[in-house]
Structure 1
Amino acid sequence: MIAAMMTAANLGARVTGWGFVVFTIGSICWATVGLTSGQTNLLATNVFLTLVNLVGIWRWLGRQRGYEDGGQSAKAASRKSSAPTLFTATGIAGMAVVDTNESPVGKAVEALIECESGTVSYIVVATGKIGGIDEQLRSVPRDCLTFGCDKLVLEMSRAAFDALLPLETGDWPAAA
């Protein structure tokens, strides 16, 4: 159950990777029970699960962690140099969205980027309660947001934001 929560929460490569470590320990223990009790189906299933979990460890504690570490190192280095300050594109998802008074509005869940120009067309902002209860998604045009290192600042009134039509699940617009 702990491993399932660690992987389902998607709190980054390290937490997800360690969730697979916990899964691996469990599958090895169950494989041992299957081996010592003569339950070949239990043994076979958990040997297979151990292999799957090892792939998860390799992917999340190996490759994906390396990607995250690389992005974070570039982000940190840019803050100490004369180069423009960077943040990772994957870091947009989950980034806080605040109004010009620093009051919380919601969080960014996705950025839609134009293929030809590579510019951000719009950001989808989620508002609602904890766990997505009563969540509403709205597309906010790029020119209505200021990108900060750790947050996005909404450059429109809260009333104008609230007047944006909520997006339908799975049916987002082609443009803001």
Structure 2
Amino acid sequence: MLAAMMTAANLGARLTGWGFVVFTFGSIAWTIVGLTSGQTNLIASNGFLTLVNVVGIWRWLGRQRKYEDGGRSAREASRRSSEPTLFTATGLAGMPVALEDGTPLGKSVEALIECRSGEVSYVVVATSSAAGLEEQLRPVPARSIGFGCDRLTLAISRGAYEAIAPLDGDAWPASAEQDTKAVS
């Protein structure tokens, strides 16, 4: 159960990778139980699961961890240099979103980038109800967002944000055409 929580939470390569390590110990233990009790189905299924878990360890503690560490080192190096400060594109998902006065609003879920220009078209921002059970997603045009290293800041009022129509399920638009300046 611990391994399932660690991998399902997806809180970074290291934690997810260590979840696969815990899964591996479990599948090896069950394989041993199968060997000592003569249960060939238990041996076969957990032998296969051990192989799957080893791939998970390689992916999350090996390759993915290198990607995250590389992005983190570039971000940190940029903060100490005269070059523009960087943050990773993958770091955009989950980044806190606040109003201009610093009041927390929600979090970034995804950024949609224009293929031709490479510029961010819009960012999907999630806000939750007080109980956290219901979530609304809104597409906020990039021109209405201040991109910071540790958070995104809306350059529109709360009212203008709330006037943006929430997204309907998984049918996201090709662009965020709302004129947020007219609403602010």
Could you tell me which runs of 5 or more consecutive residues in structure 2 were left unpaired when the two chains were aligned. 177-184
Between the aligned partners of 1:169 and 1:118, the Cα distance in structure 2 is 26
Asked if residue 135 in structure 1 is aligned to residue 143 in structure 2, the reply is no
Shift of 1:168: 1.0
Q: CA RMSD in A?
A: 1.1
1:4 alignment counterpart: 4
Between the aligned partners of 2:161 and 2:10, the Cα distance in structure 1 is 28
The one-letter amino acid paired with 1:104 is P
Shift of 1:101: 0.6
Normalising by structure 1, we get a TM-score of 0.98
1:175 alignment counterpart: 175
Q: CA-to-partner distance for each residue in 1:88-136, whole Å, 9 max, x for gaps?
A: 0000000000001100010000000000000000000000048952100
Shift of 1:31: 0.1
- Relative distance call for 1:131 and 1:10 in structure 2 (3 A) is farther
1:18 alignment counterpart: 18
Between the aligned partners of 1:130 and 1:38, the Cα distance in structure 2 is 53
- Relative distance call for 1:21 and 1:68 in structure 2 (3 A) is same
- Relative distance call for 1:69 and 1:10 in structure 2 (3 A) is same
1:120 alignment counterpart: 120
Alignment of 1:13-92 (within 5 A): 13-92=13-92
Between the aligned partners of 2:11 and 2:108, the Cα distance in structure 1 is 15
Runs of 4+ in 1 over 3 A off after TM superposition: 129-132
For the residue of structure 2 that corresponds to 1:133, the secondary structure is: coil
Could you tell me which runs of 5 or more consecutive residues in structure 1 were left unpaired when the two chains were aligned. none
1:163 alignment counterpart: 163
2:181 alignment counterpart: none
The count of aligned residue pairs is 176
Normalising by structure 2, we get a TM-score of 0.94
- Relative distance call for 1:116 and 1:79 in structure 2 (3 A) is same
Between the aligned partners of 1:22 and 1:67, the Cα distance in structure 2 is 22
Asked if residue 104 in structure 1 is aligned to residue 113 in structure 2, the reply is no
- Relative distance call for 1:8 and 1:130 in structure 2 (3 A) is farther
Shift of 1:173: 0.4
Q: CA-to-partner distance for each residue in 1:45-96, whole Å, 9 max, x for gaps?
A: 0000000000000000000000000000000000000000000000000000
